[in-house]
Structure 1
Amino acid sequence: MSWIFGYNGIITETIQKKFDKFDTLPEKKILNERLILLAGGNHKTLFYSDSKNWIVSGVGIIADDSQIRLMSRDDWDKSFANRLLPELEGHFLFIYWNDEEIIFQSDQAGLRTIYFYQTETGIFFSTKLKLLSSLLPKTELDFYTFGSRWKLFNQFSHDSIIKDVKKLPPAGIAQIKNNKLYLKQNKVSSVISTKSPADLLQVIEKHLKIIIPDELNLTLGLSGGLDSRFLFALMLKSKRDFLIHTFGSETDPDVLIAKRAAGVIRKNINFIQTSESISSDFLSKLLEYASVNELIEPVSSFQKLIVFENEYFRDKVIVDGALAEFARRQFLNRLLFKGKKLLMNKDSEGVISHLTLAKPEIFRKEYVLQMQEGIKQQLSDIFASHNNFIEYQPEQFLDQLIYDYRIPNYFGPEQSRLDEIVLSFMIFAQKNIFEICKHIPLQSKVNSRIFYNYLRENYPMLAKIPLIKGGISYQFGSSTIRSFIVTKLKKYFSNDFSSGARIIFLNGLKEYCYEILSEREIKNYPPYDSDKIIKIRDGFYEGNLKLANDLDWLLSFELFRKGLKID
């Protein structure tokens, strides 16, 4: 990411040495009587003003004369002068300061954030949790907060998972003044009437016509999934110039279907092949990935995500189709179908079982109890603040839950990581598009009707090609329930591609796993249940391939712990 690292307070010799030891060369450095501020990384996602004392890390999107464009430095300067930050789209962290105070603001969705650590003499701040954790006398995981991040679909709070560290929430404003930190949310409320699929198509088309710098090209990642195919059709219809890319191995079902879809349109597709080899360089990058992704995905996913370091993306702006599920009413359907009564009754304990993800039990009982208590409290707090919303509009409530908690806690860390190496924007994470999706009648959204209908009407040849979900194919036009059942059955009776790739990945790391998951290393971390960990490690490498998921997540946690030096 473009990054920011700083300190406000009494600058002692010890404080100064901490910054002198910083091993990354900043693009911008501010040093005055009470402020040290370093900023650097990807110059395409870093903007600043020497004369007006502001810095931005991230990507801004602004509407002007019915057009949408990526924000330039001049755009940021005007927005700062007019205090328009809450109205801007994109993902960014904005900082400005004077002799009296420092103000931090995050985007509405919370895709970018910043962390704070207060000492007796001042306050450190950084967009990188890893940087801040290195300053703590002892880095400890807050299991009460961490529980939902580890055991559920995503974390259901905006608190930091590291003790003594505070985090800026979505639409957040932080103020440092007189050596005190103040945090609050400044969400822009929207009063929106009922919307139609046509309203959604219109605003997405407008975003896909986004004006970008002349030296850059727009590129869409095309997979075998429905969402990228829908955006592909919309971009074709817009008649603008754009590229498409796909990546993976040559036998990856997503790659095969993406090539087929591009072929029927006679559109060239840029195929970037990922490597299955594991080098020492890859291992150091894997550790860095685990340190910054905050356990949103298992480390095996990095084998594909490393592709964004490819030269192809150096002069591109990536259109990211994530979160299109908002337009398909697809999020948290397991809870809606199987646990709706529990949801309506605001039964926190009952709802938990419908939000869990398959993760290994690797912690001792007392830490598990802390996580369970934290989860129940987080859900209870959410239910209390959305009382009537849940009762009368459960589907809208679940979408709001995703916007409020999944975007910042799941998509946020990866967006921050990507900002360091590429330029991208996520269409469906924009506040106005989310609000339109939320206010389209339910019957127009369910079973992906908007997407299916658009493809059938405008590009029927794309409607004849099957879709891919989790490495498994299913028929175009399938309902939500049918596609779920088909992919589940196919996965049960066959070795799906994604499972095979994970096994190959873990087998290639056997020596490394035994090294970092040795009995001595395990016993050095008190929360670990060493017996369970050894059973997972040895069981997989002795042939029980069903333990691949558990080992993948175990390895992820241990690399995250090592990267942040958690005790």
Structure 2
Amino acid sequence: MNQIGYETPFEGVKKLAPGSIMTVENGGVTIKENPWRPSSAADRDASPKTNASPIKEALPTKDSSPIKGASPKKDSLAGKDISGERWAATVLGVIDRTRDGRAVSLGLSGGLDSRVVLALLTKSGIPFRAHVYGLPDVPDVRISTSISRKLGLEHRHYEPHLPPVEELAESACRHASVTMATRPASDVLNLPMFREAGAAGSVLVDGGFGEIGRRQYLKRLWYLARWALYRNDSRTITRHLMDSKPMIFAPEIASKMKEGLEENVEREWMRVRNMGLDMPTTLDLFALRHRVPNFGAPIQAVMDQILPNIMPLIHPDVLDVSFAMPARQKSGSRLFRNTIERYAPELQDFPLAKGESEVPYQHGFWRSQIGGRLRRSLRMQRSEQSGNTGNNGQPASIPVLFLKHIEPWLMDLAGSREVRECGIYDMAELKRRIDAFSAGDVSHAAWLDWWLAFEGFRLGK
């Protein structure tokens, strides 16, 4: 789930939006909103806090020219093309300040975002290791392991551990409650990895929300309904923001939620639109303001209680540099790919993970999308020919392992009086999927995983 705006499901309760200040005085409450926006050259200085500090001189490029110190005035944010070196130095400066002398544990998946951070770390002089979470045969784990082996990195592979059923079920519901149903219930299996990394004294770094720097968020809206953006057509914008997956809610509840979503989209879209920015920047800022705090903040709060961690690609200093770049420097992941080619060209030899598939590194966004769908189709055909259609040709997944482990408990919960009479779920759909999953059709695992997340949130355990 990804909410638009800062309302909550609780009557009379509103989230404190990022940058806002709440003052309680004389029994009254005032809230001053100050939403983040990209800095302009006029209100930004070239102080060292926005640039890589001791590591900037230790970052050679492919042609052996180091990243310079504080950015010269000609490379101000008002310039036409912001230097990729400046962006790289800023990313590393953020990591170096945050780690405060400690070693870094980089979450290295098979994706592009963590790879660009790896490319910079390999030349930075910062001590680090890599880690990955997942089952051994998934693309993220295979690619992460291969890269680490090739580069000679210390590498840790965390596999999901399944506690006793009652303990796991209770933990999953509690996790869903504190993360406000923004993560699937099976996400609780990630927590032991964070605890172990924290116990080792590492600072966890990952490429989370790097899509902002690649202009990947809301691409469907940009390419399929660009006219709606210029006309401020909130209904069409909302339709393209919504996922096409089947809803877990009863039709009347889903309809009411959609109405509220359209109202929020209209209000929040116009707040960004009225800033007078160009449309690509407006779209990126809209995604940043509502994707990061609503989807990312709840799990971030959980992680902050476990270990020091950072997502440098969405640090305000990095975002300032990124937003100042023309769209052409970022579109098609150009900034990230150029950075990898410049600082660690050997990383171009490894494929990228796309869901349950691997795609050649050289493939762009659309070729990767089409290639991934073709591979999924071929897997399903082979699965049907072999008579094994239970998992739609997919390898075993963490949601499947998680739900199979707690299956008796899950079936009891789904059939309980409390669930049947709560009035918000499509009970016929829930029963159909529970029965099919119990009969061996694990293609329903993702739907049930999200249903359990919302139920855990609703129960507030």
The TM-score bracket by the shorter chain reads: 0.7 to 0.9
The answer to whether residue 201 in structure 2 is matched with residue 315 in structure 1 is yes
Partner of 1:81: none
Letter in 2 for 1:560: F
Q: Trace 1:519-530 onto structure 2 (pairs within 5 A).
A: 519-530=416-427
Q: Trace 1:44-193 onto structure 2 (pairs within 5 A).
A: 149=1, 154-187=2-35, 190-192=39-41, 193=78
Contact 1:173/1:184 (<8 A) preserved:
yes
TM-score of the superposition, structure 1-length normalised? 0.68
Q: Give the 3-state SS of the residue equivalent to 1:315 in structure 2.
A: coil
Q: Give the 3-state SS of the residue equivalent to 1:219 in structure 2.
A: strand
Contact 1:471/1:496 (<8 A) preserved:
no
Larger proportion of strand: 1
Partner of 1:272: 158
**In 1, distance between residues paired with 2:327 and 2:334?**
10
| C-alpha deviation, 1:406, in angstroms | 0.9
**In 1, distance between residues paired with 2:342 and 2:280?**
28
Contact 2:269/2:286 (<8 A) preserved:
no
Partner of 1:405: 290
Partner of 1:231: 117
Deviations 1:409-449 (A, max 9, x none): 01100000001111101212222211221221122212212
Deviations 1:20-66 (A, max 9, x none): xxxxxxxxxxxxxxxxxxxxxxxxxxxxxxxxxxxxxxxxxxxxxxx
**In 1, distance between residues paired with 2:271 and 2:242?**
22
TM-score of the superposition, structure 2-length normalised? 0.82
**In 2, distance between residues paired with 1:461 and 1:257?**
14
Larger relative contact order (Cα-Cα within 8 Å, sequence gap ≥ 6): 2
Alignment length, in residue pairs? 410
| C-alpha deviation, 1:377, in angstroms | 0.7
Q: State the Cα RMSD in Å.
A: 2.3
Unaligned runs of 5+ in 1: 1-148
Contact 1:225/1:468 (<8 A) preserved:
yes
The answer to whether residue 170 in structure 2 is matched with residue 284 in structure 1 is yes
Partner of 1:450: 335
The answer to whether residue 46 in structure 2 is matched with residue 197 in structure 1 is no
**In 2, distance between residues paired with 1:489 and 1:277?**
37
**In 1, distance between residues paired with 2:273 and 2:457?**
36
Percent sequence identity over matched residues?
27
Contact 2:140/2:353 (<8 A) preserved:
yes
Partner of 1:298: 184
**In 1, distance between residues paired with 2:27 and 2:274?**
40
**In 2, distance between residues paired with 1:388 and 1:169?**
19
Contact 1:222/1:245 (<8 A) preserved:
yes
Contact 2:109/2:141 (<8 A) preserved:
yes
Q: Give the 3-state SS of the residue equivalent to 1:309 in structure 2.
A: helix
Partner of 1:464: 349
Letter in 2 for 1:155: Q
Match 1:514 to one of 386, 394, 411: 411
Match 2:446 to one of 545, 549, 560: 549
Contact 2:272/2:285 (<8 A) preserved:
no
Letter in 2 for 1:514: M
**In 2, distance between residues paired with 1:499 and 1:346?**
43
Contact 2:169/2:406 (<8 A) preserved:
no
Larger proportion of helix: 2
Contact 1:245/1:271 (<8 A) preserved:
yes
Q: 1:358 to 1:306 in 2, by over 3 A?
A: farther
Q: Is 483-492 or 359-368 further displaced after alignment?
A: 359-368
Contact 1:174/1:184 (<8 A) preserved:
yes
The answer to whether residue 220 in structure 2 is matched with residue 340 in structure 1 is no
Unaligned runs of 5+ in 2: 42-77, 380-391
